[in-house]
Structures are given as structure tokens and as C-alpha cells.
């Protein structure tokens, strides 16, 4: 019987790496959400007629942190990921690429305002974080 238990424990140990979590910077939902949030932040900072729905932003961020913990990431892993300068740069670059593809032109404030209004109208995640006064 002890050989059976040892074999079962060994099988579990071998199977465990298959259950290992992917790195946070490769988790699609988390990254897509952070990129959308960064895109919204860029839009609100660039366009004077767009502002953030701060309670919505905070609620979505808390929900995203809860999602990460439910997936099995620790509080420390989540906080470290959100504070990592390299990851922040990567996410910001991806958000800029997203906005450029949507029609935002660096130096053209109105193009950012238009993209922001379009995001709001389409109901995208970035748009759900924003309000327009135009």
C-alpha cells in the first residue's frame, strides 16, 4: 500500500507543473484589461473634453485584482506585477499602439478626442472608464 501512496504522490508532483500559473504578463484577460485602462488614461490626459469615471476605474481595478487572486496569483505577485516598471512600459506601449490603430495621431489632440468618443460609443472597456463632455 505504501508503494501505491508513493506512486500517487509522485504522480501528483509530476502533474503539478501542468497546473502552474502562467506569468501574469502572459495572462490575456489581465493584460487586455490593463492595456484598455492605460488607453483610457492616455485619452483622458490628452483630450480636455474627456474625463475618467474614477469610481468605475477603481471598481474595475479591484475586480481585476480579485480575478487574479481567484486564478491563484498571490497578493504579492499581483502588487509586484502592477508596480513593475518594465511591465508598465510594456502596457503603455501596447496602449499607444492600440490608440494609434484606432486613429489617434500623436500631437493631434482632436484625434484622441475622437478615438475616446468612439470608444465610449462602442462600449469598449476603455470607453466604459470614460465620459465625454462633447
Domain residues for the domain of 48 are 23-132
CA angle (66, 61, 58) in 5-degree steps: 125
pTM value is 0.82
Contact 61, 37 (CB under 8 A): yes
pLDDT in tens, 1-14: 444 443 334 344 44
pLDDT in tens, 15-68: 434 457 899 999 999 999 999 999 999 999 999 999 999 999 999 999 999 999
The answer on pLDDT for 92 being more than 90 is yes
In total, how many domains does the chain have? 1
In a domain, 16, yes or no: no
DSSP conformation class of 129: T
In a domain, 10, yes or no: no
The sign of the dihedral angle between the CA atoms of 82, 83, 86, 88 is positive
In a domain, 87, yes or no: yes
Q: What is the pLDDT of residue 134?
A: 76
In a domain, 3, yes or no: no
In a domain, 82, yes or no: yes
Contact 65, 29 (CB under 8 A): no
Amino acid at each position: 500500500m505504501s508503494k501505491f501512496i508513493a506512486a500517487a504522490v509522485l504522480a501528483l508532483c509530476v502533474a503539478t507543473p501542468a497546473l502552474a500559473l502562467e506569468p501574469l504578463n502572459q495572462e490575456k484577460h489581465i493584460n487586455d484589461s490593463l492595456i484598455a485602462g492605460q488607453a483610457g488614461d492616455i485619452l483622458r490626459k490628452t483630450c480636455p473634453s474627456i474625463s475618467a469615471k474614477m469610481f468605475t476605474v477603481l471598481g474595475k481595478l479591484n475586480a481585476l485584482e480579485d480575478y487574479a487572486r481567484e486564478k491563484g496569483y498571490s497578493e504579492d505577485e499581483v502588487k509586484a506585477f502592477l508596480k513593475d516598471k518594465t511591465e508598465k512600459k510594456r502596457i503603455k506601449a501596447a496602449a499607444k499602439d492600440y490608440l494609434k490603430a484606432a486613429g489617434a495621431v500623436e500631437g493631434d489632440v482632436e484625434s484622441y478626442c475622437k478615438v475616446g468618443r468612439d470608444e465610449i460609443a462602442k462600449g469598449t472597456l476603455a470607453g466604459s472608464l470614460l465620459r465625454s463632455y462633447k
